[in-house]
Structure formats: structure tokens, C-alpha cells
Amino acid sequence: MVTIDRRAIPDAATESHWQAEDGWSIRRIDWRADVPKGSILFLPGRGDIYEKYLETLHGFWTNGWNVTASDWRGQAGSGRFSEEPNVGHVDDFATWIADLAWFWKNWAAQTPGPHILMGHSMGGHLVLRALAERAVDPDAAILSAPMLGIHAGGVPYWVGHAYARLMTRIGNPARAAWKDSEKPGSRPSERHKLLTHDKARYDDESGWWALRPELKMGPASWGWVERAMDSIRGLERTGTLEAIDTPMLIVATTADQLVDTRRIITDAKRLPNVELVLYGDEAAHELLREADPVRDQVMATIGAFLERQTQ
């Protein structure tokens, strides 16, 4: 098992920035293997920071992979769309798809294959949408608790979407959609229960916020909520997911209180070349940062999938 200081950038990694097609500066971090098995590009979730996943990414590198992780434009250390730096806003998810397509083209040309595209939560949703739109062409993809649906207490998506659209029209779309924590109605003191059973790994995030205050982000904007619902509903169109033949691994948990696991299960049945591995009450949303008994299983499953892509 690889052990690192989760609150320090590993010596083997290099932080830098890449320029989007329109010149927007976006952070990245890279590990280069001596004799790489291939290359992995990891994309985090909404309001997320790649610092939270150093343990996992460094582990992939230790197992022989070139590894890159990137921010999404407008969050973490890559600027903001909102005048309120704590609010996660976006004009449209298509902006992120365009950024990913631009970065992918250049990154894949500069790194050895097989090329693996990996996304967590919102990152997983954007990976799947990019595949559906033929914006990227990885040899395989890995999705961790992908945001293929939002946990909304049974409210139909069209109703939630209509309400979010209304809220963007009666006020500033960049204003916060809820007060704090990860979703409406959840208290900050209970936030860690939504994410992981491992309190030490959970506390790494606030540790990084203390070291790098500019990374902190809280609730999403009404504009983000409306665009997220629109993007999710866009994947419902018949034939959209059915046309994606990229080998894919999805890991998720039925106990997830942020993304809708029922939608993950439904969408997985539409994908022609997918392996779906589900966990239960032992796992919360951040499977890559769970307590060791779960995380070890998740990492072993991902490791086996990666090895199959090299054969």
C-alpha cells in the first residue's frame, strides 16, 4: 500500500497551468512514469480540488502509469465565474466539454497510450457527455459515483429542472442555490457523512483550504443547478448512451445521498461495454476517499480494470 503525506504535493508530481482555447488559465498536476503502462487523465467533481485525490493519483503512478489531473475552469485554482468566490457557477456545461476536448487533443498527443479518462461525480457526468458528443476518444473510461442524476428526494427531473429555470429568471443566476454544505437542507456539521466514513481523509480538504484559501468553494449557483439538470436530461435521449462503446468501469454506492444511484444503474444498462460495481451502506459518495476496507476494494477493482486495458 502506498503511503504519502496527503497534505503535501508529492515530490514526483509537478503542478503547472494549461491554456484553454480562449486563453483561460487552468491548473494541472502531472506524474511521469519512467516506463509508463499508459496515461490517466483524472477530472474531479463540482467544487472539487485535485489535492483531495493525491493519495489515489500517486498510487496510480506508483503502479506504472503517467497521471494527470486538471481543474475545471471556474473552480479550485482556476478562477471563478461568479463574483462570489465561494459559489460554484457556470454559464453552461458545454464550456467544460469544450475545455476537455481541447485539453484531451493536446494531452493525448503528448502522452503514451492506452489513454484512460477518469472522472468523479460531476467529472464523471462530463466524461460521459464528452464521450456521447465524440469530444474525446479514450481507450477506456472510469467513472466514480458519476453525477448521472441528482439525489432530489424523488422529485421528477423535469419538475426540478423547471423550478431551477424559474429561479434563474427571477434573480441572478450566479447567486447561491442553498446556504452551505453539499446540498439544500444538509447541515455543515453533517457534511462529512455525505462524503466519506473516513474522518481523517475528510479533514484533508479543510487542511488544503487552510494551506490554499483560494481553493475553497461552497454551494452551487442556481445557474449551475439549471445547467446540470439540462445536461442530465440531455443524456436521456434514446441512442445517446447506447452509441458509446468505450470500455468503461463505473463504481458507485447505493447509499449515495448526492447523486442518484438509481439513475446510474438505469444508464449503465444502456451502455454496451460497461462494468458496474456497486457498494452499499459501507460507502458514501467519495469512494476514492473512503475508509480503507472500502477504498482498498475500490482501488483493487480499478487496478484490475486498468491492467486489462494494457493487454
pLDDT, position 110: 97
d(CA 37, CA 66): 8
Q: pLDDT tens, 9-18?
A: 999 999 999 9
- Tell me if 133 sits within 8 A of 104, measured CB to CB: no
Digit-coded pLDDT (tens) for 225-246: 999 999 999 999 999 999 999 9
Give the chain's mean pLDDT: 94
Q: What is the pLDDT of residues 26-58, one digit of tens each?
A: 999 999 999 999 999 999 999 999 999 999 999
Is domain 17-309 in CATH 3.40.50.1820, yes or no?
A: yes
